[in-house]
Amino acid sequence: MVTRVLAVVVSALLWSAPAWADKDPISGTVKAVDTNARTVTLESTTKGKTRQVVVHLKPGAKIVKFARSSEPGKTGFVEQTLGLADLKPGWIVSAETQHEGDKEVADVVKVVLER
Amino acid sequence: MTTRGWWLSAIGAVAVAFGLWVATPRSSQADVTGEPHEDDKAGHAHVPAPVEYADAHMPPGVWTDPAMIARGKEIYAIKCAVCHGDTGDGKGPAGMVLPLKPPDLRDKAGIAEMRDNYWFWRISEGGLVDPFKSKGSAMPAWKDDLSVQDRWAVIAYQHTFSGHQGPHVPWEHPEMVLVGRDIYEMACVSCHGAEGKGDGSVGATLSPRRAPQPRDFTTSDFKFRSTPSGQLPTSGDLLRTITEGVRGSGGPLTFGLSGHRIMPSFRQMPIEQRLELIEYVKSLNPRFWERTEVKIVPIPQPPPVTPERLARGKQLYADAECLACHGDTGRGDGKSAPELKDSLKLPIVATDLRRPARFKNGSRPEDIYRTLVTGFAGTPMPSYADSLEPDQTWDLVYYVLSLSGDPGRAAGASGRGSAR
């Protein structure tokens, strides 16, 4: 009995392990883009504190923006993929980041506003 | 099963529940009562617009103007729908990925509480200002991209999502001024009356059968303004009056009131509450929504006081017939003083200019300048905006201050603080 219960506890903890990686959405204004280091520096405010966050892009990470469909009869938004060099300071973006060591890493950056 | 077995099973169940909770994405956890939204009512995000935006009211006709709504729809599709969604549900593709979700503009009750000046402020400044900035709002500021008219057009279109057909004004949606109404009922109703007509039970006893009486908010006669003669005050003017109170020459029940105020100062009331109160007071008079432009009389920088300026001011005091009411020495005993009446035909006392601390509209040089160029609506005190040049007005301001016999007054000693 003890063994079975322990097995359940361990498997529950293992199952939840990926979530411990603390995945958080973050949004902010692009302050800088480093195409060599594959990083985007965002100025973001949460809980009353404004900070600059360096987001490291995973290999193969996508940067997307949303544009109106050009297909006849379709007026909704479609995703368009951008290169890192296309991101410009001043744009507002959102990214779902994870802590990896002392880094914030993301595999998708979504453009909210280009300006 | 043994007791030990039950305990172990219970621990196992708790562990599974904990695992499920942790494994559930954060956004779902936040969604128990709705994800955090830009205009989350639980977070009281519908804060009053700051005073700089408080007079931004859409003329009622625009809410239902098909041309403006069509213009707003065009702009919305390009600038807003990516976050707010084509149907206004807050589920545009870019909005869905934001930590702070856009509001659902179809929420009839939520929209009904939202005032037009708040709406205009939000679109103008976006998430660059608090409290939205602190919450992490990604809403862009549109004031540099969209003209005032375009911002109103977008608002008129967004308003259609709520399903409400009429103008979005307090007399259609009393809920948008409920907080202010509650404050009014606690702090103001005894003097200004339940309908804001200045007929509260206590008001008349402060100054029995003579002026000043509590303001009737439903008319256009507002004394303390920075706007030209005959116009309604700005929200900033109302804030200044609420903050400073109104000093008076006294009445039986004003003895002991701080600074002989016939209306108390509400300086201690939090600024948000004073702004809510102002929104309610304005809701008593639809003319605040009907004006298309809010003009403010400019007050130039005060020049230095010189003996020549004081001498010119003395001459102007006579030429402009100030002495007819206020008397040679400013005591308020001019030859016309006994006959003075206000618009309610009540006897009114000419202010004793030797006592700046009791000036109703403040005793700083700029306060007196404002009084001279705006006049006091509903009283014999006229506006000199058309008869005195700015420099002459300053001459008169300094001469009036010199009547107190306190040289520091004329040099610009402040009798009033700021409104905030």
Residue A103: which H helix or E strand, with range? strand A103-113
Nearest to B49 by CA among B105, B106, B124: B124
Per-residue model confidence as pLDDT tens digits over B73-127: 999 999 999 999 999 999 999 998 888 889 999 999 999 999 999 999 999 999 8
- Contact predicate B54/B117, CB 8 Å: yes
Residue A27's φ and ψ, nearest 5 degrees, are -130, 155
Distances (CA, A) of B80 to B63, B72, B181: 18, 10, 33
- Per-residue 3-state assignment (H helix, E strand, C coil) for B183-207: HHHHHCHHHHCCCCCCCCCCHHHHC
More confident residue, B33 or A96: A96
Domain boundaries of chain A, sorted by first residue: 24-113
With CA atoms as reference, report the closest residue to B217 among B240, B204, B233: B233
- Decide: B370 and B383 in contact? Cβ < 8 Å: no
Read off φ and ψ for residue A70, nearest 5 degrees. -95, 0
Q: Look up residue B237 and give its two tokens.
A: 């003017």
CB contact under 8 A, B86 and A75: yes
Cis peptide before B99 (omega within 30 of 0): no
Judge whether B38 and B137 are in contact, CB under 8 Å.
yes
ipTM of the complex: 0.78
Tell whether B128 is within 8 A of chain A (Cβ): no
Q: How far apart are CA B120 and CA B168, in angstroms?
A: 13
| Distance between B150 CA and the closest CA of chain A, angstroms | 18
Domain A24-113 has CATH 2.40.50.320: yes
Nearest CA in chain B to A110: B94
What residues does each domain of chain B span? 34-161, 174-290, 307-410
Are B134 and A25 a contacting pair at CB < 8 A? no
Residues B284, B177 contacting (CB under 8 angstroms): no
Identity of the amino acid at B66: P
The answer to pTM > 0.90 is no
| Across A22-51, average pLDDT | 89
Count A/B contacts: CB-CB distance under 8 Å. 100
Instruction: Collapse the DSSP code of B208 into the 3-class scheme (helix H, G, I; strand E, B; otherwise coil) and give the result.
Output: coil
Chain A residues contacting B via beta carbons under 8 Å? 1-2, 4-5, 8-9, 12-13, 15-16, 18-20, 23-28, 44-48, 50, 66, 68, 75-77, 79, 92, 94, 96, 110-113, 115
From the options 1.10.760.10, 3.30.930.10, 3.40.50.740, 3.40.50.2300, give the CATH code of B307-410: 1.10.760.10
Instruction: Note whether B93 contacts A66, CB cutoff 8 Å.
Output: yes
Distance in angstroms (rounded) separating the CA atoms of residues B159 and B156 = 5
- Asked if residues B165 and B153 have their Cβ atoms less than 8 Å apart, the reply is no
B23/A16 touch (CB, cutoff 8 Å), yes or no: yes
A24 interaction partners in chain B (CB closer than 8 Å):
26, 99
Q: Tokens 């130039």: give the residue.
A: B300
The CATH topology of domain B174-290 is: Cytochrome Bc1 Complex; Chain D, domain 2 (1.10.760)
Which of the pair, B28 or B159, is modelled with greater confidence?
A: B159
Bridge-based pairing of strands A103-113 and A49-68 is: parallel
Q: How far is B266 from chain A (nearest CA, A)?
A: 29
Look at residue B212 in the predicted model and tell me its pLDDT: 86
Query: Which residue from A62, A21, A59, A20 is spatially nearest to A37, judged by alpha carbons?
Result: A59
Nearest Cα neighbor of B177 from B284, B103, B265 is: B284
pLDDT score recorded for residue B410? 61
Nearest to A45 among B81, B92, B133 (CB): B133
| Tokens of residue B212, six digits | 């000043």
Helix (H, G, I), strand (E, B) or coil at B305: coil
Contacts of B26 (CB under 8 A, 6+ apart): A23, A24, A25
**Fold held by B34-161:** Cytochrome Bc1 Complex; Chain D, domain 2 (1.10.760)
Residues of B in contact with A66 (CB under 8 A): 82, 92-94
| Chain A neighbors of B86, CB-CB under 8 A | 75-76
Residues of A in contact with B27 (CB under 8 A): 25
Helices (H), B126-176: 148-161
Pairing of strands A49-68, A92-100: unpaired
- Cβ of A110 and B94 within 8 Å? yes
What value, to the nearest 5°, has the Cα angle with vertex A46 and ends A40 and A50?
Answer: 65
DSSP secondary structure letter of residue B105: T
Among A13-17, A49-53, B7-11, the range with the most confident prediction by mean pLDDT is A49-53
Q: Do the domains at B34-161 and B307-410 have one common CATH topology?
A: yes
Mean pLDDT of the residues in chain B: 86
Spatial separation of the C-alpha atoms in residues A62 and B223, rounded to whole Å: 62
pLDDT tens by residue, B322-376: 999 999 999 999 999 999 999 989 999 999 999 888 888 888 999 999 999 999 9
CB contact under 8 A, A16 and B19: yes
CA distances to B27, B41, B159 from B107, in Å: 20, 11, 10
Q: Which of A19, A44, A77 sits opposite B93 (nearest CB)?
A: A77
